[in-house]
Structure 1
Amino acid sequence: MTSFWNAFAKPANTLAPQESDGALHLHRLTNVALLEIKGPDAVKFMQGQFTCDIQEITISHSSLAACCTPKGRMVALFRIAQAKPDCYLLRLPVEVAQSFLAHLNKYKVFYKCTVTLLEDWGVIGLSGDLDSLPSLSSAVPTSADSCQTSDGLLLIRPPGNLSRMECWLDSAQASKLLPDLDNQCAAGAVEDWERLEVLSGLGEVYPQTLDEFIPQMLNLQALGAISFKKGCYTGQEIVARMQYLGTLKKRMFLLSSETITPAPGSAIIDETGARIGSVVRSAQGQTLAVLDKSAADGKVLRLEESPTTALQVLELPYAIEEVSNTKKKL
């Protein structure tokens, strides 16, 4: 947790959580952090490290993106947005923020830019009927990945069919906005927001799964997080070969896990006890897991840690174009 939450962790209201689907909830996302990359070489540096096309990131358009090893395995998955010219913010799990900061600092030696963990910024999530927010309704972005940017405040619409929005804000903006938002919204738990993320089919990379997945395994090609037209970046050869020459044998599925919330990296097994995949993230009985595609088709799936719990495959909220080429299997 960054120092931002020392001042803003407690809601200013006592509204009870609401049960209706349209009820507004404010989620203090103490589980994420923001990195800042800024300087005249920021775009050039990031273009050589990240899977998305940085040239397409503007003050009105954000993107999911990944950073990979030379072998194409992800060391971080994050959302990136532009705060101002030559200044970009990356939102990612707080558990990997420091390791990713160290990773980026190894590569930026020859670039005129800085990479910093922002201690005076935080992220809140708003879910429910966003049009009923008097203080922000005119600024609510309406399409996936779009954003509204002002000094010290970024409003970002995540992909998916659920009505929700991320607010990235500094301490000054938090002092202005949070009291009113607390009075307009019921308090929502981090776990509730995590469930919305899972239901939206949005994966994540945690310390338990560092260097485990290539981007296509987490369906990033379906979420606009990979550019196959930009120039080279670290891991690009592996990612491109998979898309054009390989056959993707594993990908991320949405599963119902009843009341079980397995940790990232937990094993998924079939009826014989053979491992066929691993958990990406999970919340409140909903789980995203990377599975062998053949094993996910009609077979009994279970958690190794709870073999009596059967997992059911659910439909993701987006279409996936299968990566399957006959020339070569990777």
Structure 2
Amino acid sequence: MSAFFDSISSTSSGSVYATPLTDYAVIAATGADALAFLHGQLTHDVTGLSPDVARLSGYCTAKGRLLATMVLWRAQPAADEAADAPQLYALVRRDLADALVKRLSMFVLRAKAKLAVTALQVTGVWGEPADVDALQTAAGGALPATPWQRVDLPSGTWIAAPLVSGGLRWWWIASQAQQDQASTLATQVQRGDADHWQAADLATGLPWVAAATQDVFIPQTLNLDLIDGVSFTKGCYPGQEVVARSHYRGTVKRRTAYGQWDTMDTVPAPGTDIYDARQPQEPCGRIVDASRSGALFEITLAALDDGDLRIGAPDGAKITVAPLPYDLADGGFKG
């Protein structure tokens, strides 16, 4: 736990919360060719990414299966920018960050690009609009209010995260020095629960690929095509032919849904099978990611329509399908 969280006041009366997101890491890409290189590797348009926004993206095998999902943003250009200054950042699950950097680096070849896992700290911050003024003052400037907008402030990078109900959420990306200097910010927040943050990610349909689910899903089965995680006009990248074929032929028979349960002794791990109790012979889906209260799970559309869905076994805990903030037919984050 960083000094920032040690200094959070136990008497804060506001409704803003912060929690360290230790399951996530930030990768930096540096070098003159970094943007062009990653544009040819990832599912989203990297070279066309505006510096004031972040975007969801994926990295696939040649067969179109995802090795990672990530939140991308371009580094804010500086007037005296050095040749080795970061060009792009990617927020990924920590358990696959090192392997992701190693694999991508294998394909750099003669390009002037270098990737590395940074020491940047990732924090989830959320709160009510009424408390934003004090938070912005402490953070050093106006915070983005629209999902996927981002700003660089003295306290670090703030990216507005998608949400499904009232309030605001941000990924706060900061160096250790920035966190250590954020003493005023610490007085404006209460210590939050990381499971609360993860539950909100799941409710928005935000699919994080972890080490346990690498090389399992294609982008469409995680709904990346519905939530602006894939560009179909950017050109080639590993697996592009498979992804494009599924898109243009309309052959997607599996999608990711959101479900909840009443009681669970343990949180099901990513990759846990989902069964339809009425057709128990084989699994019909699997957990993508889960919190204490619910999960994202990839499933056949046939079972999603009318299945009696169970976790881990045909007689396992019942999972009740709940709505996502977008339609599986045509999709799109609603904010």
TM-score scaled by length of structure 2: 0.88
| 1:206 equivalent in alignment to 2:214 | no
The DSSP-based 3-state class of the residue aligned with 1:302 is strand
Give the alignment partner of residue 267 of structure 1, picking from 269, 273, 288: 273
Paired with 1:253 and 1:308, the residues of 2 have a C-alpha distance of 18
Query: Would the alpha carbon gap of residues 9 and 96 (structure 1) be closer, same or farther in structure 2, given more than 3 Å must change?
Result: farther
Within 5 Å, give how 1:167-178 maps onto structure 2: 167-177=172-182
Paired with 2:162 and 2:328, the residues of 1 have a C-alpha distance of 14
Paired with 2:154 and 2:10, the residues of 1 have a C-alpha distance of 29
The DSSP-based 3-state class of the residue aligned with 1:56 is coil
Q: Which amino acid aligns with 1:303?
A: I
The DSSP-based 3-state class of the residue aligned with 1:52 is coil
Paired with 1:259 and 1:203, the residues of 2 have a C-alpha distance of 23
Match of 2:256 in 1: 252
User: Percent identity of the aligned residues?
Assistant: 28
The DSSP-based 3-state class of the residue aligned with 2:72 is strand
Within 5 Å, give how 1:185-224 maps onto structure 2: 185-224=189-228
Cα distance, 1:109 vs structure 2 = 2.0
Query: Would the alpha carbon gap of residues 130 and 311 (structure 1) be closer, same or farther in structure 2, given more than 3 Å must change?
Result: same
Contact map agreement 1:83 1:154 (CA 8 A) in 2: no
Structure 1 unaligned regions, length at least 5: 324-330
Q: How many residues matched?
A: 313
Q: Which amino acid aligns with 1:164?
A: R
Cα distance, 1:135 vs structure 2 = 4.0
Cα distance, 1:161 vs structure 2 = 2.8
Cα distance, 1:211 vs structure 2 = 0.2
CA displacement, residues 253-293 of structure 1 (integer Å, 9 cap, x when unaligned): 00012233211000000113220000000102211000000
Give the alignment partner of residue 9 of structure 2, picking from 13, 16, 22: 13
The DSSP-based 3-state class of the residue aligned with 1:159 is coil
Match of 2:82 in 1: none
Paired with 1:148 and 1:257, the residues of 2 have a C-alpha distance of 37
Q: Which amino acid aligns with 1:283?
A: S
Within 5 Å, give how 1:1-330 maps onto structure 2: 5=1, 7-8=3-4, 10-15=6-11, 23-85=15-77, 87-119=87-119, 121-133=120-132, 134-136=134-136, 138-150=141-153, 153-162=156-165, 163-177=168-182, 179-260=183-264, 261-271=267-277, 272-273=279-280, 274-305=282-313, 307-321=315-329
Paired with 2:5 and 2:143, the residues of 1 have a C-alpha distance of 23
Paired with 2:300 and 2:162, the residues of 1 have a C-alpha distance of 25
Paired with 1:175 and 1:201, the residues of 2 have a C-alpha distance of 33
Paired with 1:306 and 1:105, the residues of 2 have a C-alpha distance of 43
Cα distance, 1:151 vs structure 2 = 6.0
Cα distance, 1:6 vs structure 2 = 5.3
Q: Which amino acid aligns with 2:263?
A: T
Cα distance, 1:12 vs structure 2 = 3.1
Match of 1:328 in 2: none
Paired with 1:15 and 1:281, the residues of 2 have a C-alpha distance of 34
Paired with 1:142 and 1:9, the residues of 2 have a C-alpha distance of 24
CA displacement, residues 92-148 of structure 1 (integer Å, 9 cap, x when unaligned): 1111111111111111122101101102x1111111115514242652112121111
Cα distance, 1:43 vs structure 2 = 1.1
Cα distance, 1:160 vs structure 2 = 2.8
Contact map agreement 2:257 2:298 (CA 8 A) in 1: yes
Contact map agreement 2:260 2:295 (CA 8 A) in 1: yes
The DSSP-based 3-state class of the residue aligned with 1:275 is coil
Contact map agreement 1:11 1:182 (CA 8 A) in 2: yes
Q: Over the residues paired in the alignment, what is the CA RMSD in angstroms?
A: 2.1
TM-score scaled by length of structure 1: 0.89
Cα distance, 1:7 vs structure 2 = 4.9
Cα distance, 1:322 vs structure 2 = 5.4
Q: Which amino acid aligns with 1:36?
A: A
Paired with 1:151 and 1:69, the residues of 2 have a C-alpha distance of 38
Q: Which amino acid aligns with 2:40?
A: G
Contact map agreement 1:123 1:166 (CA 8 A) in 2: yes
Structure 2 unaligned regions, length at least 5: 78-85
